[in-house]
Amino acid sequence: MDYKVVIADSAIDDLRAIVEFVAEDDPAAAARLADKLINHSLNLAVFPARHPVFDRERKIHKMAVPPYLIFYTCEESLHVVNIIHIWHGARRSPDFR
C-alpha cells in the first residue's frame, strides 16, 4: 500500500529558497532542480523506510539527492510520509524543533 506524501510548509520554504538561489544564475536549471526534488519526495510514497534514520529520537529519516538532503518522518500506522526539510548537504543540519 502506498503512503500519502505531505510536504510541510518548512520544506516548501526550503525549496523556494533553493530554487530562487539557483534561478539567479539559471532559471531553467532551477525549474529542473525543483522538479527533481519534488519527484524524489513524492517517490517516498513507496517503501519510505528504505532510507537511513537521521535522528532516532524523533524518527527523522534522511534521503540524499546530491547535493541536497530530504528530511522526513514516516507515520507507519497512518501510511503518511511528512517531508519536513529539503536542505543543501553542505549546510549545517536544519533545526527540527
Which CATH number is 70's domain given? 3.30.2310.20
The pTM for the full model equals 0.91
Domain membership of residue 79 (yes or no) is yes
| 72, 60 contact by CB (below 8 A) | yes
pLDDT of 97 reads 66
Q: How far is residue 8's CA from residue 37's CA, in Å, rounded to a whole number?
A: 14
- Provide mean pLDDT across the span 62-75: 96
Domain membership of residue 95 (yes or no) is no
pLDDT tens-digit series, residues 11-58: 999 999 999 999 999 999 999 999 999 999 999 999 999 999 999 999
